[in-house]
Amino acid sequence: MSTAREDLTGRARLRDAAIESFAAHGFAESLRAIATRAGVSAGLVRHHFGSKEALRAECDATVLERYKNLKTESLAAAPQQLFAQLPASREGGILIVYILRSVREGGTAGREFVENMIREATVFSREAVARGLVVPSRDEEARTRFLVQQALGLLVVSFALGQEVPLDDFGAVRDRFYAESMLPTLELYTEGLFTTHEYLDEYVAYMATTKNPPAGLAGETMKR
């Protein structure tokens, strides 16, 4: 029993070291470097995970789970409680940079990560609608996809142009991202942008009558 518990703890410690290593240096980071960060031998990494690909898959799943929990807790917390926790969080910064690395990398792993992120976001978006915190959408999946892609685009552009903050300074990364994005995001989410429904109403009417709707999930859903 004791050995089993130690084995599980060692695996979790290695996984967390890998998440931090991938965030700090990218997914080309070697198993040896990950093992060094965890304070174990490289052979122990292979013992627990078998391959770097399996380790990466578990890291992806863990980051997505922590991202979902962070979002869920944020929606459940009172505004005063939420913003009282805003000062630099190293753990939150690790999540931000890991997500940034995944999007930058692209490829199959990067696409799957983003698609999983959108699926998770759709779930807690629907929960927020059910609770009355968020207004319903004509197409919840399309809106969530847009919001996630918009946030990821901001993340990529922000750190592509702002090289003065090292990506491995996780607390500073989170501070900077929130400083740039929190106010405009909350303002747009809370108060909107247009002062009239004219553009939306015209587009909805157009989508209801056109035989050739624009490609995309929102257009297809509204046409049906």
Do 59 and 101 lie in one domain? The reply is yes
Q: Which residue has the tokens 């918009």?
A: 150
Question: What pLDDT, on the 0 to 100 scale, is given for residue 67?
Answer: 85
Who has greater pLDDT, 15 or 90?
A: 15
My answer on whether 139 and 167 are in the same domain is: yes
Comparing 188 with 40, the larger pLDDT belongs to 188
Q: How many domains does the chain have?
A: 2
Same domain? For 160 and 210 the reply is no
To the nearest whole percent, how much of the chain has pLDDT over 70? 85
Tell whether 171 and 61 lie within a shared domain: yes
| 98-115 average pLDDT score | 88
Do 92 and 168 belong together in one domain? yes
CATH number, residue 156: 1.10.357.10
- Tell me, yes or no, whether 112 and 102 share the same domain: yes
**Inside any domain, residue 17:** no
Does residue 142 share a domain with residue 109? yes
**87-117 CB burial, b ≥16 within 10 A, e <16:** eebeebbbbbbbbbbbbebeeeebeebbebb
**In-domain check, residue 12:** no
Do both 160 and 198 map to the same domain?
no
pLDDT confidence band for 184 (50 / 70 / 90): very high
20 lies in a domain? no
Q: Return the structure tokens found at 189.
A: 């989410």
Task: Clarify whether residues 58 and 75 are in a common domain.
Answer: yes
Residue 8 located in a structural domain: no
Q: Is residue 49 part of a domain?
A: no
Residue 59 sits in the same domain as residue 120: yes
- Rounded Cα distance between 88 and 176, Å, is 9
Same domain, 80 and 129: yes
Residue 209 domain boundaries = 194-224
Question: CB–CB of 56/29 below 8 Å?
Answer: no
C-alpha dihedral (121, 127, 128, 131), degrees to nearest 10: 180
Supply φ then ψ for residue 188, to 5 degrees: -65, -45
pLDDT greater than 50 at residue 2: no
pLDDT of residue 18: 95
At 199 the pLDDT is 93
Query: Residue 113 is which amino acid?
Result: F
pLDDT classification of 4: cutoffs 50, 70, 90:
very low
Within 8 A by CB and 6+ apart from 72, the residues are 124, 127
**Looking at beta carbons, which pairs linking 79-84 to residues 24 or more positions away fall under 8 Å?**
none
Residue 74 domain flag: yes
119, 207: one domain: no
In a domain, 134, yes or no: yes
Is the predicted pLDDT of residue 222 greater than 60, yes or no?
Answer: no
Position 103 in a domain: yes
pLDDT digits (tens, 9 = 90+) for 33-85: 999 988 888 888 888 898 999 999 999 999 988 888 877 777 777 777 766 66
